[in-house]
Structure 1
Amino acid sequence: MTENTQYMTSTSTTTDASEARAARDHRHDMWFRRTMMGAGMLVLVLLLSIAGSTLWGGSEAFRTFGFGFLTSTQWDVVNGQFGAVVPIFGTLVTSFLALLIAVPVSFGIAIFLTEVAPVWLRMPIASAIELLAGIPSIIYGMWGLFIFGPFMAAHMAPWINDHLGALPLVGALFQGPPLGIGMLTAGIVLAIMITPFITSVMHEVFRSVPTTLKESAYALGNTTWEVVWDIVLPYTRSAVVGGIFLGLGRALGETMAVTFVLGNAHQFSASLLMPSSSIASVIANEFSEAYTDLHRSALIALGFLLFVVTFVVLAAARLMLMRLSRKEGL
């Protein structure tokens, strides 16, 4: 009788301890889930707060100029006339030029590192890419202003004007004085800046392709290009597109490097050799000297427009990645 009582007591104690442990684990799991949900919601709150604060700060400019703020090319601080067309145009053009140059170069470097380069050469080049990614943007801007800009004015711009400026249809894009600074110079400097980021992403995802797939393709007689085009790219295209848009996001918001080499001129020109301005460079140049409420509001409104442009671009990238993922699932 005593043994049965002791056994029942021990069993009851073990059951109570198990229930207490389960309740404690459930409570800790709930705390963990709520903490993680709070962290996730914090991102949305910050996003909405940034958008709301910039929209509120730029409300005076939007009320004063209305839709004309998005269609006007004027930026006259003295007379209080502000338009966002030139900064938006400069931001989009320089970012597009940067992608146009950086994507093929990044693709070539990543393929070289994963498929072509000897083993002893891969580590130095990969380390150099990481070092380039860590250089501050102001260093790129100073290099562009003092080194690349004069080289552009003395050698590249005259050749571009003489040879590409005479082409039909697109000749107007390459006509202009050899100033050395302008949208083309800014696009090239931006391309140099974002190439390490895109290359790093492409290199990592190309390395994730199973070796058996590539070896099977080589065993069937495919060349290196065929393996890359038919095996590597289809396997990694979603991540590659994501890396490209990551570089685009960096180019859209770049400030200091573009400020040094873009020219900061509020004039609309179809020529890539002419100076222009970007949203980030205008804000960086003029915010400390904005002495009227309307001027400050116009600059904050530009910041809101940059937020909208970046959000639209990244949202389009997300939709593209979702479509690619669905196709891969099929």
Structure 2
Amino acid sequence: MPNQAQGSERVEKKRSKAVGGRGDVVFAGVAKGAGILIILLLGAVAFFLISQSYPAFVASDETVQAEVGFTRGMSFWQFAGAALFGTVLSALIALTVATPFAIAIALFISHYAPRRFSGVLGYVIDLLAAIPSVVFGLWGMHTLEPVIRPIFAWISDILTPVLEWWVRSVPGMGYMAENFDWWPLTPDLVHFVPPARNILMGGLVLAIMVLPIITSLCREVFLQTPQLQEEAALGLGATRWEMIRMTVLPIGRSGIVSAAMLGLGRALGETMALLMVLSAGLQVNIQLMSPGQHSTIASQIALNWGEAQGGLERQFLIGLGLLLFALTFVVNFVARRIMARYSEFSGANA
């Protein structure tokens, strides 16, 4: 009887191993197939963009100016450069505004707020990511713009005389302001022209849109700080802020950078909110408070695609899409590299 029982147990173990082995093989195959499918889809998108936009890249400036009606007399690279400049400028403004607030909110949720309240606040922050961009655009145009307009006017009244004195009194500043449109330290930097449908307003709307992404990632990074290190800092007499400054922020530095770069990637591809908020222009300058100066690649594609007549006009817009695809791909690739580096030195490995 014992021998029979042992024999049946061996049979059951072999059977379970065989079933488990088949399950592992199937799961590994499905996972590998999904990974290959994603790579193929990415390659298909890249192939489509390159093959469809190639004529726009090789067309002469005269051909582009004659056949593409919305270029305003620009060549492909002049138009793309101006749109790319506006894209990067609006995203950088959004990142500059959103990142400090996101870090502060994430620290409050993870280390200051009561547990029940922090859960509710975290849920509300996450809900912001589900709001469609067109709603942000409507809200920014009809609600935020009238509120921001007097603030922009006040900033312009305060800083414009300061920059005028700077350009007039500091050697070399007048020359830079007169000969280089991209030079930022001029009175035009803060010269406000109502309404507030300018790149700074668009950056503020974008900042609200990327705030949930950066906040959620920073919160998770801060929660991974080893509890023993926090308790050791508090046990040595550090205040809560000193503990955060000495343990939480240094350990989460790479995670903060990764969250900011993922937010940057989100801001670079935004379309409808900026299309509705901005008074579009194609200038390469740093006039943050003047309308009709800047635009973005995504908003230009959305603005002109419906009226494009096919041929070179659509190839031109697809070429802009290829540039935006490459830009967002580079940003997200760098973010993933930083996150991979962070995982090597996470609190679990401390």
- Regarding TM over 0.5, the answer is yes
1:130 is matched with 126
1:170 is matched with 185
Corresponding letter in the other structure for 2:35: G
1:288 is matched with 306
Corresponding letter in the other structure for 1:303: G
The question of whether the paired residues in 2 share the 8 Å contact of 1:75 and 1:266 is answered with no
What SS does the corresponding residue of 2:197 show, helix, strand or coil? Answer: coil
Assess, with a 3 A threshold, how the Cα gap between structure 1 residues 19 and 294 changes in structure 2: closer, same or farther. same
Alignment of 1:263 with 2:279, yes or no, is yes
Mapped to 1, the partners of 2:344 and 2:118 lie a distance apart of 34
Mapped to 1, the partners of 2:60 and 2:326 lie a distance apart of 18
Alignment of 1:202 with 2:224, yes or no, is no
2:89 is matched with 93
The question of whether the paired residues in 2 share the 8 Å contact of 1:238 and 1:325 is answered with no
The question of whether the paired residues in 1 share the 8 Å contact of 2:83 and 2:297 is answered with yes
Alpha-carbon displacement from aligned partner over 1:182-236 (angstroms, at most 9, x marks no partner): 1100100000111122112212222232333222211211122221121112333
Alignment of 1:305-316 (within 5 A): 305-316=323-334
The question of whether the paired residues in 1 share the 8 Å contact of 2:262 and 2:331 is answered with no
Alignment of 1:61 with 2:76, yes or no, is no
1:111 is matched with 107
Mapped to 2, the partners of 1:94 and 1:25 lie a distance apart of 52
- The unaligned stretches of length 5 or more in structure 1 are none
Structure 1 stretch 120-129 or stretch 225-234: which is displaced more? 120-129
1:253 is matched with 269
Shift, 1:32, TM fit: 2.3
Q: Percent identity?
A: 36
Mapped to 1, the partners of 2:69 and 2:185 lie a distance apart of 28
1:151 is matched with 147
What SS does the corresponding residue of 1:291 show, helix, strand or coil? Answer: coil
1:84 is matched with 80
The question of whether the paired residues in 2 share the 8 Å contact of 1:77 and 1:295 is answered with no
Task: From 283, 288, 297, give the equivalent of 1:279.
Answer: 297
Mapped to 2, the partners of 1:127 and 1:27 lie a distance apart of 40
Assess, with a 3 A threshold, how the Cα gap between structure 1 residues 236 and 20 changes in structure 2: closer, same or farther. same
Assess, with a 3 A threshold, how the Cα gap between structure 1 residues 75 and 97 changes in structure 2: closer, same or farther. farther
Mapped to 1, the partners of 2:341 and 2:16 lie a distance apart of 45
Assess, with a 3 A threshold, how the Cα gap between structure 1 residues 250 and 20 changes in structure 2: closer, same or farther. same
Task: From 314, 322, 347, give the equivalent of 1:304.
Answer: 322
Mapped to 2, the partners of 1:306 and 1:29 lie a distance apart of 40
Assess, with a 3 A threshold, how the Cα gap between structure 1 residues 259 and 98 changes in structure 2: closer, same or farther. same
1:185 is matched with 201
Shift, 1:38, TM fit: 0.7
Mapped to 1, the partners of 2:220 and 2:265 lie a distance apart of 19
Structure 1 stretch 82-91 or stretch 13-22: which is displaced more? 13-22
Task: From 32, 39, 60, give the equivalent of 2:27.
Answer: 32
Give TM-score scaled by structure 2 length: 0.80
1:226 is matched with 242
Alignment of 1:50 with 2:45, yes or no, is yes
What SS does the corresponding residue of 1:58 show, helix, strand or coil? Answer: helix
The question of whether the paired residues in 2 share the 8 Å contact of 1:75 and 1:81 is answered with no
What SS does the corresponding residue of 1:134 show, helix, strand or coil? Answer: coil
Assess, with a 3 A threshold, how the Cα gap between structure 1 residues 106 and 51 changes in structure 2: closer, same or farther. same
Give TM-score scaled by structure 1 length: 0.84
Aligned residues: 317
Mapped to 2, the partners of 1:118 and 1:17 lie a distance apart of 51
Shift, 1:325, TM fit: 5.3
Assess, with a 3 A threshold, how the Cα gap between structure 1 residues 164 and 55 changes in structure 2: closer, same or farther. farther
What SS does the corresponding residue of 2:58 show, helix, strand or coil? Answer: helix
Mapped to 2, the partners of 1:25 and 1:126 lie a distance apart of 39
Corresponding letter in the other structure for 2:49: T
Structure 1 stretch 116-125 or stretch 240-249: which is displaced more? 116-125
Assess, with a 3 A threshold, how the Cα gap between structure 1 residues 30 and 279 changes in structure 2: closer, same or farther. same
